[in-house]
Structure formats: C-alpha cells, structure tokens
Amino acid sequence: MTQVARIQPSEFNCVLYEVRDHVAIVTINRPERRNALNRRAYDEVEAAFRAASADPEVRCVVVTGKDPAFCSGEDVKEMMTGEQHEQSVTRLTSVRPEPTPAAVAALECDRPVIAAVNGAAVGWGMELTLFADIRIASEQAKFGEIFIKRGLITDVGGLWRLPAIVGPAKAAELLFTGDVIDAEEAARIGLVSQVVAHEELMEHALALAGRIAVNAPLALRFMKEGLRRTSYGDLREIGSWVSGTLGKLFQTEDHREGVRSFLEKRAPVFKGR
C-alpha cells in the first residue's frame, strides 16, 4: 500500500515540487547551504517521493538540486551537533531501528527515478543519486561517499546499491577511501549513464523522462519492481542494520573528531575509539 506524505508539496520550503507532462520534478532548494539536508529537508524529500508514488498522473520522477550543487549531504552544523543529533541517536539506538525514512520513500517509489546531478553529490547526496534508477551528470558533477571521513558508515545506497552498479571492488575503494570523483570518472565506472554540458542537463533529463513517461504506466511500475527484485533484493534488513550501526558510531570519539575537523576545516585525527 502506498504511504501518504505527512507533509504536502504546498507546505514545502526546502524542496521544490512540480508535475509536468506526467513527470514529477523534485529539486532540493537550499542553495545557500549547497543543498545540505537538515531535518526539515529530509522530511520534504521523503514527502516528495511519497507524493509522486501516490499520484496516478506521475509516471516518472526527476530529482535534482538548485545550482551550484546537487546535495552536499547532511547539514553538519544542524544534524551532527546539538538537539537534532541527540534525537537521531535516540532513534537509531532502538531495539530494531528503521531505515532512514527518506531513503525508504525514494527506494520504494514505484515510478522510474532519474537523478540529474548538477554539481556536488557527496555523503547523503551521493546516496540520493544511488536511490535513482538512472543517473545523468553535468560536467560539473562530483560524487563522494565521504562517510568514512566522519567516522561513520554509508546509508543503504552505498552498501546495498553501489556494489551492484559499479562492482564490489570499485564500491569498496570508494567507500573505504571516501574519495571524491568527477563526472568523467563516474561515467567510466558506470555510475552515470551519460555526462552532458551543465546548461543542458535538465533538458536531457526531462527528454529521457518524457521517453519513459509515454509508455504504459502499469507496465513501467512492474518493470521497475522486477529490476529491484533481481538486482538489489530486500531493503528493510540491511536498512535496519545500517541504522543500528550508525547509532553506535554516532557515539564514538572518532565521529566527534570527524565533525570537529570538518567544522574547523582541518584533517581529522582518528584514534579508533
């Protein structure tokens, strides 16, 4: 059963949402923070995918960010310090924690999803690209699973989908190093299907979405479900493990050092505790 969004698109202030010619366009709209996600933005991303899944007029989804970035991950100042951080730790240390709600909404969206990656997609921003079925990159795009630099593990995208997309060895390299790669390298390893001029990115993404959206809506949804079953498997079990592990890592000294070093703009010094 399709879940109903708790927040309606008319209430959004961190995400832009519109439906055009059977295509839902989801744009993260915090350009002053390079589209970093705070709690409200996470909730609106979740609600946007819920809204698309519940709308019979939507046959395809395009997700992007307001220039100059796609999504630079979590808003470290808001999400990894203070009250919001404490709330996250409480949620993640429950007996069987749920996967990240925004990740579940994106991955359970039964419409084809295209990520139009217009700039930096790092941390949870890269996760969001991995939740898509197809990734198109601007020549200015960059990708990085930088969680290891914060003393954390990736969300379900990096562990559950990245190995299937680029292969286990390349996924391990990206996850273990936290290296950031450019659009050309992303295309070379198969992370993105094409790289286009920055100013033409949305034109290409919407043209592809249009070619998808003219097809039989029910068959499209079952085709996506078939790909999910054969390529990736079950989301909930790995998602719960990820959440529980993050609950432990959020309380480590290394994580606190990762956050401090980011805010102080210096290299972290980890101690393994």
Give dist(CA 139, CA 155) in Å, integer. Answer: 26
Gyration radius (Cα) of the chain, Å = 18
Per-residue pLDDT, 77: 77
pLDDT in tens, 2-41: 566 678 999 999 999 999 999 999 999 999 999 999 999 9
Closest CA to 241 of 128, 148, 155, 158: 155
pLDDT in tens, 105-124: 999 999 999 999 999 999 99
Q: How many percent of the chain have pLDDT more than 70?
A: 91
> How many Cβ atoms are within 10 Å of 147's Cβ, its own excluded?
24
Per-residue pLDDT, 1: 45
When the pLDDT of each residue in the chain is averaged and rounded to a whole number, the result is 92
* Coil, helix or strand at residue 90: helix
CA 261 and chain centroid, separation: 24
Per-residue pLDDT, 73: 95
Tell me: pLDDT of 95 over 60. no
Per-residue pLDDT, 231: 74
Per-residue pLDDT, 81: 64
Yes or no: is domain 9-199+216-263 CATH 2.60.40.10?
A: no
Tell me: pLDDT of 49 over 90. yes
For the residues 64-84, what does the mean pLDDT come to? 85
Indicate if the alpha-carbon torsion angle 19, 20, 24, 29 is positive or negative: negative
Weakest mean pLDDT among 228-232, 258-262, 268-272: 228-232
Closest CA to 209 of 115, 106, 114: 114
pLDDT-derived band at 88 (thresholds 50, 70, 90) equals low
* 158 token code pair: 């990096």
pLDDT in tens, 143-191: 999 999 999 999 999 999 999 999 999 999 999 999 999 999 999 999 9
* 54 token code pair: 């519940």
Tell me: pLDDT of 226 over 70. yes
CA dihedral of 263, 268, 272, 273, whole degrees rounded to 10: -30
What is the rounded end-to-end Cα distance, in angstroms, of the chain? 43
Distances (CA, A) of 103 to 126, 154, 166, 176, 260: 12, 12, 20, 22, 26
Q: Which residue would you say has higher pLDDT here, 88 or 260?
A: 260
Q: Is the separation of the CB atoms in 36 and 75 below 8 Å?
A: yes
Q: Which residue would you say has higher pLDDT here, 82 or 148?
A: 148
